[in-house]
Each structure stands twice: as C-alpha cells, then as structure tokens.
Chain A
Amino acid sequence: MGAHSIAHADGHAHDVHHHEESFVSKYIFSHDHKMISKQFLVTAIFMAWVAVIMSLIFRLQLAWPGEGFAFTNFFLGEKWAPGGVLDPNMYLALVTIHGTIMVFFVLTGGLSGTFANLLIPLQLGARDMASGFINMLSYWFFFLSSIIMLSSLFVEGGPASAGWTIYPPLSALPKAIPGSGMGMTLWLVSMTLFIASSLMGGLNYVVTIMNLRTKGMKMTRMPLTMWAILLTAVLGILSFPVLLSAALLLLLDRSLGTSFYLSDIYIAGEALDHTGGSPVLFQHLFWFLGHPEVYIVLLPALGITSEIISTNSRKPIFGYRAMIGSILAIGFLSFIVWGHHMFITGMNPFLGSVFVFTTLLIAIPSAVKVFNYITTLWRGNLVLTPAMLFSIGLVATFIAGGLTGIILADSALDINVHDTYFVVAHFHIVMGMSAIFGMFAGVYHWFPKMYGRMMNTKMGYAHFWVTFVCAFGVFFPMHFIGLAGAPRRYYSYSEFPMFDGVLDLNILVTLFAIVGALAQVLFTYNFFYSVFRGPKAVQNPWKSNTLEWTTPVEHIHGNWPGPLPVVYRWPYDYSKPGKAEDWVSQITPLDHDEEEH
C-alpha cells in the first residue's frame, strides 16, 4: 500500500483496481496519507468539542461564580460539581486540560496532522508520504495519547491541574494539589506518546518535502503551504525532544526522588528531601519547546491562508519570496525568544533584555506577512467563499493578537500584565483564533479534495460570521479585564473589591462564548452531513493552480492514475496578463516567450 505506492513513484501507470482492501486496512490501519489526514481531522474535531465543553463549564463559573448549573452537573457529576457548582480543584483541572487539548491535540496534532498529511503528497506531486507505515504509526500514537489524556479525566483526584504549562513543584507534588497524582502521571505518559507521534509525523513531512517533489517542483515553486509545513516540521523535530526530556526529568522527580526541579520544600507538615534543584530549569526546558510551539501552531495556518487568499483573490500572493523569507525568519527567531515567558521568574535582568530584543524582532517578519496579505487583497477579484472569509478573519486576529504581543514582549510592561487576563486575551487571539481560523479555512477549502463532496456554503457563511463576531466578543474584552489587574486561573474574582468594575465583562464574555459554541454545532452538522450527503464535487472547484486539483475526485492510491504530473511554473499565476483564464495550473508549460513570474 504505502510502500507499494512508493514503488510506483517512478511514474508507471498505477492500477487502481489491482487489489481489494479490507475495511480495516482502508479505514483503520490505513497507510494512505489522505485517509490518515481524515483520521487526524475527525479525532481533532472530537477533541476540540471536549475542550470547548470544558471552556463553557468554567466560563459559566466565571460569569456567575458559585451558582449551580445543570450543565456543569451533567458533565461533572456530584463529585466535582456538587449541586452544579464547580469545585475549585476541578476548575483548575478544566483550564489545564482545555489548554492541553487545544494547544497540542487540536492545533498541533489536528492542524498539522490533517493538512500536512493531505497536502504534502498532493501539492508536491508524490504518490504518498515517504513512509506510509510511520505515517500510520504517527496517527495511532496520536490516537492512543488522546485516549490516555481523556482517561485521565476519570481518575481519583482528577486530571492534571497545574496549568497546561505544568510548572513544578505544583505538578510534582500530589500533596500540593490532588491533580498532581495519577492524573499528572497520565498527562506525562500521554504527552510522551504525543511527542513520539509528532516526531514521526514531522520527520516524514521533512523527508517527503525534501525528496519526493515531482519533476519541475523546485523549492521556489512550492506553494507557501509547503514552506509553512516544512518549517513547522523542523521546529517540531528540534523542540519537542526538549519537552520530552523535561517531562522525563519531571517523572524522575515525581517517582524516584531526584531533585532536578525541586529544592527546599516544606509541605503538608514535612520538609522534603529534595535539595539543589530549580523549578526555573523546568521553565527553561518547557518554553524552549513552548515558544516554537506557538509557531508550530501558527505557521500551518498562515500557510493555508496564503494559499487561500491568493486563490480567492485571483491574484498572486504578494511577495512570494518575502513570504518564504519571513517564514524562515520566524522559524529561526522562535528558538531564541523563550525567555520572554519568564521575565519575572527571577531571571537575570540582562538576560531578560536579550530576550526583549529577540522577541520584538519577530514583529518584523510578522508585519511583513500582514502587509503582504493586505496587498494581495488590494485590487484583487475576491471570491468570498467561507474559506476566504476565515482567511481574512485570520489576518484580523493575527493583527490584534500580534500587536498586544509587543506589549508582552516589552519586559518592563510585562511585569504588570504577566499572568493576567491580558495574556489570556493575547494568546487566544493570536494563536488560538488565528490557528483555528486557518484550520476552518483549510477544512472548507480542501473538503472537496478530502471527501469528494461540497460543504454547504450558506451554513459556512453563518458559521463564519457568528464565530468571527464571537471570537472578538470573547477575547477582546479580556484585555480590559487584564488591564484591571485580574490574574488568570482564578476560580472567582469576587474576593477582591478591586475587580468589581469588570465583573460584568465576564458575563459578556461568557454569553459570547455560548453563542460561539453553538455556531460550532452548525459547523459540525455541516461537516458530517456533507461527508455523506453533500453535493458531489468537481475536480477543481476553486479554479486553483496547485497540483492537488489535478487528481481525480475519487481517491485512489498513488493519487494520480497516470504518470506523475510535471511542474512548469510557480503556483500563483492568477490573472496573469496574456492568459485567457484567470488561472494557470502548475502543470501548464510556459508559453514560448513567457516569463515565469
């Protein structure tokens, strides 16, 4: 199957009906990148729903602290929500697992897993991934790690509750918080499997992009999605192992009595044996992954957006090389900025200054990207499909979240807003919303490629507008809650008279969150309905230039029935002067005297 397709990669005609497949090899242990991509997507949608419901539960508590809700009680039962009132320990568990699932399972595994798997072979003209088997393993490790993460919700003491950043000593000591018992162990085991999955996927992506491009597909003729995914994979390969080592050392501290992160602790009436370790060490290791992780989440979304904005503006992406350059610059810089999460940990202030400098440098390639998107729209011929709307939405959230990032990167200002709702607002907009908008855009745009059917456009519009309004309705007011000094991860704000003035904002936010979640019901319905009952798609519904639209609508192993396509031009020849149509596929040879760009 996978290996089989590679054997045919030399360009022989590929016989579709050569061998019958069983249900198991086709839908479950599939080596086919298109099927694996769908598996990632459906798993991610399920995980996203778990995380959304968690957020609704704690948003209810934040808006109406101490009140009982049947909704809360339904999901958590009497143990964690007596009378429907959320338990404070469970509150912390929910914010922790909400963050973990969204960051890792939805926006890393789900986003990269879906679109890297779907698009790499299709946009580069390959029969499949370099290793179909490792690709399959990558999904099943992801699946297993999802199961373990979800099972941690059901253990005594509850799931991990130390925040998604799991800072020790809180995460190391079951005596400090009940969630640091079995729940934390499962969290670490789950993340270990997740990292293995992510590494297998990442290595496969890089190898495939470097080696299996079809004839004529030079690096500088690759769609920007490919560049974004390549850099994402490289970032993941370089940074996830560091998280793994951080997690392993934490496991040792927890179970074998080592002292990597622990020192001088007196808890529950006892002085512990640990001496000489430093909790700050964990933070360095964590954020060495944690910051590139932001771009692991964001870059694929930006790549998807570049592709969709160009296609639907019927206009080449403005500054293709500058876009590649900015992806490379962001990728490089993302490795030397992690300290900006740690300005107030007692880190040497001079070191802090260095991180201020490197962090603010990232604003330059980011600004270039924003201006290039806007210029691509300028004098374009915009077809406002749901995918295009979400892409424009992404640019809006990227602007709003990027600008507040400048405040947080400025260490002197960070002192006062660090760990407040301002931070919550910032990263939900710039990383959460941007990435999820990129993911929605990708789903709407490539749905015909994935399922051979079309999603309903009208429902797509309703989904976009409600989601877009609610995204800002939820996260924009949080800046103000943060500027009033309200810390994040507080179970309730009613203990402090100083926050009384912004308490009504919490209600506003929760109302938007509820409506926003309902819009996702519409999306989920549209998605699954269209998978089975949507109108049949044509081969190239968006009149796009890239190679994936030259494959047949019905999926076949090896993607192209005949020889692999040959590429003659870059992917952005939209509305090129002298052409009859406003698009020219990459497989169309250059005219006699035609210049490439």
Chain B
Amino acid sequence: MMKLLILIVVVLGILAVAQLARVYELTAKLRGKREEDISPADNRFNGRMMWVFGIAYFAFFLWLVLHYKDKMLPVAASEQGVETDWLMDFNWWILLVAFVITNVLLFWFAGKYIYSKDRRAYWQPHNNKLELAWTVAPAAVLAVIIIYGLQSWNNITSPASPDALVVELYARQFDWTARYPGNDGGLGATDFRLINGNNPLGIVTKESVAERIAELDAEINSSDSLLAHAILAATKQEELTEQVGRMRRNKTRIINLRTIMELDIAEKGEASPYLHGADDIVIKEFVLPVRKEVKILIRSQDVIHSAYLPHMRIQMNAVPGMTTTMKMVPTITTDSMRTIMADQDFNFILLCNKICGASHYNMQMPLVITSAEEYTVWMAEALKKPFKPLAVKEENEGAAPVATPIDTTVVAPATVAQLH
C-alpha cells in the first residue's frame, strides 16, 4: 500500500512538472516569446546552477573521500601491494590536480560567460602556442606515469625466484582448491581427463591413470549393455550413444597419456613430473608463511575464473587449458592484521573476480598468513594426508594394450567416406 502511494505521488509529481512547464510555455506564447529564445533569467539561472553544481560536485567528492577512506582496502599485506599502493597514491595526486583544474575552469566559465545582447564573444579560432602547451604538458606528465607504472609492472610480473614456494590454486564452479608439493618438492603433472571423485585435480600418477581407465571401462560396459538391452527414448538413446563415444575417445587419450608418461619416466627418471604427483597435498585450505616469496600457479577446470586477493593487491585469471602464475611476498600475518583491523574475525580472502555462473558472488576461500614456524607445523600435519587415488586391481589394467592410439573420431568419418 505504501509502495502504491509512493508510486502515485511520483507519477503525480512528474505530471505536475510537465504541466508547470506547459503553463510556462503558454504564458510565454502570450508574451510573444518563442521556445528557442532563452531568456536572460533562464541563462542566469542555469549559469548559477553550473557554479552550484561545481561546488556540490567537489563537496560530494570530499565527503566520499573523508567518510569512506577507512572503509577502503586496508593496508597492503604484500610487498607487491605496498608498491602498487604507493604508485596508486602517486597517480591520484597527479590526477587530482588535473581534475580540479579542468573542472574549476569548466564550471566557472559555464556560469561566467552567459549570454548578453550587449557583448560579443571573443573571436579566437585557434592559438598555436596554447595548443602546443596543452599537448606537451599532458605528454610530459604521462611519460612520468608510464615510466613509474612500467617499473612496478616489471617488478610484479618478473619471474619468481627459483627458491620461491610453489602453490597451485585450482578453480571450478564455485570453489577453490589448493595444491602443495609434497616431500619431493615438486608438483605432479595433471590431465583433466583423470578428474574423478578421488582425484579432483586430475593428478597424473600410474595409479590414477589405471584407476581412471578401469572406471571408464566399467562405465562404457554398463552404458553399452544399457543401449543393447534397455528400451530407451530416442533422445535418451542418442545422448547415451554420444556419451559412450566421448568416453571411448577419452579412454584412448588416457592410454596415449600413459604411453607418454612411461616414456617420460624412462627418459628423465626421478625428475619426471609424472613421478611427483603421488605425494601432492590437495586441500581446501590456503595457508602461506609470511615474508617468503610464493609463486602461485592458477588453473581452472571449467570456465574462466579470476584469483583475486584484494588485501595483497594481486590478481590473475584462471583459464581452462592453460596455467597462469602470479607471485607475491606476504608481509603481514593474519594475526597481526586482526590486531591492525581490531577485528578478531578478519580474514584475508581469495575471491573469484570473473563472471563464472550463478554462485560467482560467493566463490571464496580464506587465505591464512602464518609465521614460518606455524607454517612448518601446518605443513607437517597436511603432509600426513597427501593425495592418493585408490589402489586399482591389476587385472583391469592388464586388459588394455599399452599403445593403441586409435581414435574413434578418426575411424568414424573414414567409414562414412567409404560408403560414398
């Protein structure tokens, strides 16, 4: 009811304004004034309004700055963040000068030089000196901005040092998973075709490959028998056939992967990434030690996400099909930050900053920055539960020949071609 009343008032208000304007129009007509003639009173009113607006604009700006300055992101908690914050402030001061000068001139002139019959505008088609001045001045300022900006950019994006800690962040709709290297110090290779309930990141190990092949075999068999014996709706049948085809192709590719893995292990021995996966820690916690450089690898399972750590001022997209990286050196522990913020519930947050679906707005994971000692303790605990696919029975694996890179997608069109 209240809403209806408000609506009625608003509609009446607009109508009132419109009618008022019409009344003006009619009286103006009676006085012989044409619509395009802007009266001195109108000019004066709008000119004064320009000044009022200019002042209100700066006041609003100032109010926002003063009222919300403590509600902006708190002090940066990484070395990279400290650098960008400095750069940001530096840029703000330059921009503020330009903002004030241009706006003051704009609104001042707009109110000052209102029309008068007794005056003529100053004839000034161009002035090369002035134009040169305001081409060169912005160019010079921009040169400074570019130089400082690129310096920071290079610092932030240069490769991490070889002894940096390595952590992987894995994104999917709608959560994050972290992966830490186990005792061997390296992350194992991954393949999206190995993803299943036991292996959410698709880590490649001999066991996980064998398990996935066995699993696919079982699924293919059951789907085949369903297709052969059950009575299905046409669409369902089509869907299932397609699905089986996809599983067969996946299986072939996994068998190829197995060959590659075996060759790689034979060639590189212990250095092969295919041997490093078994002890990887796959965990829903994101913990890092303070003042230690960390190289964060970022991957995605389905669509593009973005790993954004606002308190660290770093961000990088998670793109399916490629690994992206960012590095940082955290400088403040979660505990110290809680003291700084006077908020015992404060947490650093990793959030998703690329539209990724319905629950995009709630795809988050807390980041805990600890002291080096606490990190060692946490890591020791985490190491006790490394990633491990279920052991697979040998007979299933033995059934498939080692290298049969026959792709059903290739076979099918060939048969069609023969028919013609």
Cβ of A443 within 8 Å of any chain B Cβ, yes or no, is no
With known contacts A279-B304, A459-B18, A535-B34, A412–B314 Cβ distance under 8 A? no
Q: Which 3 A-B pairs have the closest CB atoms?
A: A501-B71, A263-B321, A485-B310
Return A237 CB to nearest CB of chain B, in Å.
29
Whether B317 lies near A392 (C-beta < 8 A) is no
Of A176, A264, A363, A472, most buried by chain B (CB within 10 Å of CB) is A264
Task: Given A266-B195, A368-B135, A382-B47, verify A526-B142 contact (CB < 8 Å).
Answer: no
Q: Who on chain A is nearest to B310 by CB? A: A485
Chain B interface size, as a band, is 35 or more
> Could you tell me which residues of chain A, from 306 to 330, have a CB within 8 Å of some CB in chain B?
313-316, 318-322
**Docked-complex contact B142 and A413, CB < 8 angstroms:** no
CA distance A472 to B319 in the complex (A): 35
- Chain A CB count within 10 A is highest, among B68, B95, B156, B202, for B68
Q: How far is the CB of A196 from chain B (nearest CB, A)?
A: 28
Q: Which residues of A contact B127 (CB under 8 A)?
A: 318-319, 375
B65-107 CB contacts (< 8 Å) to partner A: 68, 70-73, 81, 83-84, 87-88, 91, 95, 98-99, 102-103, 105-107
Contact of B138 among A363, A469, A496 (CB under 8 A): A363
Asked whether B145 lies within 8 Å of A360 as measured between CB atoms, the reply is yes
Interface flag for A468 (CB, 8 Å): yes
Is B378 interfacial (CB 8 A cutoff)? no
Contact of B320 among A264, A400, A480, A483 (CB under 8 A): A264
Q: Mark A237-266, 1 if CB is under 8 A from B, else 0.
A: 000000000000000000000000011111
Q: How far is the CB of A597 from chain B (nearest CB, A)?
A: 5
Contact assessment for A399 and B106 in the assembled complex, using a CB-CB cutoff below 8 Å: yes
Whether A382 contacts B192 in the complex (CB less than 8 A), given A169-B302, A345-B317, A413-B88, comes out as: no
Instruction: From known contacts A177-B358, A264-B320, infer whether A318 and B153 are also in contact, taking CB-CB under 8 Å.
Output: no
Residues on A with C-beta less than 8 A from B25 are 456, 458, 535
Q: Which chain B residues have a beta carbon within 8 Å of chain A's beta carbons?
A: 3, 10, 14, 17-18, 20-22, 24-25, 29, 34-36, 38, 42-43, 46-47, 49-50, 53, 56-57, 60-61, 64, 68, 70-73, 81, 83-84, 87-88, 91, 95, 98-99, 102-103, 105-107, 109-110, 113-116, 119-127, 130-131, 134-135, 138-139, 142, 145-146, 149-150, 152-154, 156-158, 172-173, 192-193, 195, 202, 243, 246, 249-250, 301-304, 306, 308, 310-311, 313-317, 319-322, 324-325, 345-346, 349, 351-362, 364, 409
User: How far apart are A330's CB and chain B's nearest CB, in angstroms?
Assistant: 13
Residue of A nearest to B142 (CB): A360
Q: Which stretch, A37-45, A227-235, A267-275, touches the partner chain B?
A: A267-275
Main secondary structure of the interface of B (DSSP, over half): helix
Q: B302 contacts A395, CB within 8 Å?
A: no
A-B contact pairs, 29 of them (CB 8 A): A167-B354, A169-B302, A170-B357, A177-B357, A264-B321, A266-B172, A267-B303, A314-B115, A318-B126, A344-B315, A352-B157, A360-B146, A378-B105, A378-B109, A382-B114, A395-B106, A396-B103, A406-B145, A410-B87, A412-B83, A412-B87, A412-B153, A454-B35, A455-B35, A456-B22, A457-B35, A461-B46, A491-B358, A491-B361
Q: Does A219 contact B (CB under 8 A)?
A: no
* B216 smallest CB distance to A (angstroms): 10
Q: State in angstroms the CA–CA spacing of A572 and B88 once bound together.
A: 42
Contact B64 A597 (CB under 8 A): no
Tell me if A413 and B149 are in contact (CB < 8 A).
Answer: yes
B142/A400 in contact, CB under 8 A = no
Complex contact B84–A322 (CB within 8 A): no
Q: How far is the CA of A57 from the CA of B95 in the complex (A)?
A: 34
- Most A C-beta atoms less than 10 A away, residue of B53, B121, B152, B310: B121
Q: Which residues in B have their C-beta under 8 angstroms from that of A163?
A: 355
Contact A265 B106 (CB under 8 A): no
CA distance A139 to B46 in the complex (A): 37
Chain A residues whose CB sits within 8 angstroms of the CB of B107 once the complex forms: 396
Closest Cβ–Cβ distance, residue B403 to chain A (whole Å): 19
| List of A residues within 8 angstroms of B120 by Cβ | 314, 381, 575, 582
Given A316-B123, A525-B18, residue A346 in contact with residue B110 (CB < 8 A): no
In the bound assembly, the distance between CA atoms of A352 and B304 in angstroms comes to 20
Residues of A within 8 A of B353 (CB): 418-420, 487
Q: Apart from A169-B302, A273-B249, A480-B64, list 12 A-B contacts with CB within 8 A.
A: A88-B358, A177-B357, A270-B243, A273-B246, A279-B321, A344-B306, A380-B109, A384-B114, A458-B20, A495-B364, A518-B14, A535-B25
The CB with the most chain B CB atoms within 10 A, among A320, A363, A379, A574, is that of A379
Contact (Cβ within 8 A) A315 B121? yes
Contacts of A457 in B (CB 8 A): 35-36, 38, 42
A447 to B218, CA, bound (A): 73
Q: Which residues of A approach B to under 8 Å, CB–CB?
A: 70, 88-89, 92, 162-163, 167, 169-170, 173, 176-177, 262-267, 270-273, 275, 277-280, 313-316, 318-322, 344-346, 349, 352-353, 356-357, 360-361, 363-364, 367-368, 370-375, 377-385, 389, 392, 395-396, 399-400, 403-404, 406-407, 410-413, 415-416, 418-420, 448, 454-459, 461-462, 465, 468-469, 472-473, 476-477, 480, 483-485, 487, 489-493, 495-498, 501-502, 505, 518, 521-522, 525-526, 529, 534-535, 537-538, 541-542, 572, 574-577, 582, 597
Query: How far is B21's CA from A267's CA once the two chains are assembled, in angstroms?
Result: 59
Taking a contact as CB atoms under 8 Å apart, the answer to whether A392 and B106 are in contact is yes
Complex Cα distance, B42 from A531, in Å, reads: 24
Q: Choose from A92, A360, A373, A472 the contact partner of B358 (Cβ within 8 Å).
A: A92
> Inside 8 A of B154's CB, which chain A residues have their CB?
349, 353
Contact between A502 and B68, CB atoms less than 8 A apart:
yes
**A378 near B24: Cβ-Cβ < 8 Å:** no
Which residues of chain A have C-beta atoms less than 8 A from B88's C-beta?
407, 413, 416
Count of A-B contacts judged by CB separation below 8 Å: 389
Q: Is the CB of B102 within 8 A of A370?
A: yes
Residues of chain A within 8 A of B193, CB atoms compared? 266, 271
Bound Cα distance A272, B253 (Å):
12
A407, B357: Cβ atoms under 8 Å? Answer: no
Q: Which of B121, B249, B250 contacts A314 (CB 8 A)?
A: B121
Residues of chain A with a CB closer than 8 A to B115's CB: 314, 381-384
Q: CA separation between A549 and B146, bound complex, in Å?
A: 46
Considering only CB atoms, which chain B residue lies closest to A373 in the complex? Answer: B106
Query: How many Å lie between the Cα of A92 and that of B361 in the bound state?
Result: 10
Looking at the assembled complex, report how far the CB atom of A94 sits from the nearest CB atom of chain B, in whole angstroms: 13
Do B313 and A416 touch (CB < 8 A)? Answer: yes
CA distance A65 to B208 in the complex (A): 44
A498, closest chain B residue (CB): B349
A279–B125 CB distance below 8 A: no
Instruction: Assess the B18–A526 pair: CB atoms within 8 A.
Output: yes
- Rounded to whole angstroms, the CA-CA distance of A454 and B46 in the bound complex is 20
Does the CB pair B317–A344 fall under 8 Å? yes
A356 touches B153 (CB 8 A): yes
**Nearest residue in A to B317 (C-beta to C-beta)?**
A345
B356 touches A170 (CB 8 A): yes
Q: Please give, as numbers and ranges, the residues of chain B lying within 8 Å of A267 by CB-CB distance.
A: 173, 301-303
Min CB distance, A181 to chain B, in Å? 13
CB of A374 within 8 A of CB of B145, answer no
Chain A neighbourhood of B139, CB < 8 A: 364
From B314, which residue of chain A is reached at the shortest CB distance? A415
Out of B17, B36, B195, B359, name the residue touching A538 (CB < 8 Å).
Answer: B36
Residue contact A454 to B36, C-beta cutoff 8 Å: yes
Q: Is the CB of B126 within 8 A of A322?
A: yes
Q: Is the CB of A320 within 8 A of B125?
A: yes
Contact between chains at A279 and B50 (CB < 8 Å): no
Residues of B within 8 A of A498 (CB): 310, 349
Q: A169-B304, A382-B115 are in contact. Are A400 and B321 (CB under 8 A)?
A: no
Cβ of A70 and Cβ of B14 under 8 Å apart? no
Q: Which of B17, B173, B316, B345 has the most CB of A within 10 A?
A: B17
| Assembled-state Cα–Cα distance A508/B156 (Å) | 36
Whether the Cβ atoms of A399 and B102 lie closer than 8 Å is: yes
Whether B358 pairs with A410 at a CB distance below 8 angstroms is no
The distance in angstroms between the C-alpha atoms of A497 and B50, with both chains bound, is: 40
Pairwise interchain contact A410-B91, C-beta atoms closer than 8 A: yes
Give Cα A43 to B361, complex, Å: 34
